[in-house]
Amino acid sequence: MVTICVDGENKTHKITDWTLWAGNDDREVMLTCHFRSGRKYTRPLSVCQITPTVNLRNVFLERKGNAVTSRAELVIIYGDKYAAVYYREGERPYIMKTTGLDFQQCSAFTEHAVFNYLCRVANERIFYARGNNRNIDENILRQIKKIVPHPDTALHAYCSGQSKKRDSPWGLIFPFGLNESQLLAVERAFSSQVSVIEGPPGTGKTQTILNIVANILIQNKTVAILSNNNSAVSNVYEKMDKQQLGYVVARLGSTENRQQFFSTSISRSEEVLPDSPSANAIDDVLQQVKKHLNAINQVASLKAEINELNIEYKYLQQWQSQNLRPEELFSHKYRLSSRKTTDLMAY
């Protein structure tokens, strides 16, 4: 329950609504009380008291459905209805309704030993750099110091050693094909803050990346694909372009690529596509695929076990021929089972 006091008098039960707004003085916040009679009464917030009032320091402001965040030194929330946002403490406040706003505490990972180590490494690279490399290394340090300490970043997870668990979105799609390990990799990519997918060449890492990208796109989100070499990024682009999805990709990894992207018109296929199946239908098929993949893996596991047993049997026959007399090869003579015979040999 919200309580409004003006000049020391409780006005809560006399008013129907209240609003906050910025006054003529940039640093002044005004409170307007709306009475049942239709009359309004405005006073500076400095002579009023609103309960509850919550002070938040060093927080990020995020609007639901908007990826842009802003950082404020101080946010004062009045009655869970309005927020006075001070991007710099002591300066002009911005009055916002709290509906649709989310506040996240700034991360302290820039004070962690891991982050300090990264900064020291960057400084050492500058110290030993020569020629043009020095400019590059100095720029790296500048970019490190500009990093936004948001708790949802991968760097926060890396420096703090704590990866957030996320709720995997329902209705994942796999338009680029899959096997069981790829399916698991995609699911974990959406349920973890940081994922590492590794494997030798030809094991389907690019295919997994394409499936991850596809699921991000159908959620109307954007994704950055980065690599320390152009060929890896080009490989992803070429496979998407082959499926007539090149128009959704902006290649921005170099000055040349950026100039080419903005100077070239993007052609989009005009082909009329059939209606897509519903999310429920896709999920039903995916559940069946999971069962089949599990069965395939079980078959492969049993085949591997059979191969191991065949090898063991071969070595057993070889050992018997070298260590036992012919009349001793008949285990039934001693009424021993195969397992007991094997145990006896091992003993």
What pLDDT score was predicted for residue 163?
82
- Taking only the tens of pLDDT, the chain with its 347 residues reads 899 999 999 989 999 999 999 887 777 899 999 998 889 989 999 999 999 999 999 999 988 877 778 899 999 999 999 999 999 888 889 999 999 999 999 998 888 899 999 999 999 999 998 888 888 899 999 999 888 888 888 889 888 888 888 877 778 888 888 888 888 899 999 988 888 888 888 888 999 999 999 999 988 888 999 988 888 888 899 998 888 888 888 888 778 888 888 888 776 666 666 777 787 887 788 788 888 888 888 888 899 999 998 998 888 888 878 876 665 555 555 666 667 766 766 65
Residues 15/2, Cβ–Cβ less than 8 Å = no
Phi-psi region of 33 (alpha: psi -120 to 50; beta: other; left: phi over 0): beta
- Helix orientation angle between 279-323 and 180-191, rounded to the nearest 10 degrees: 130
Q: How many CB atoms lie within 10 A of CB 112?
A: 16
Domain boundaries, the chain: 3-105, 110-160, 180-263, 279-341
Q: Which residues lie below 8 Å from residue 117, measured CB to CB, with a gap of 6+?
A: none
Whole-prediction pTM:
0.65
Interatomic CA distance for residues 244 and 238, integer angstroms: 10
Strand 53-63 versus strand 9-10 pairing type = unpaired
21-55 burial, b if ≥16 CB within 10 A, otherwise e?
Answer: eeeeeeeebbbebeeeeeeeeeeebeebebeeeee
Residue 344's alpha-carbon distances to 47, 327, 328, 330, 341, in angstroms, are 94, 17, 13, 14, 5
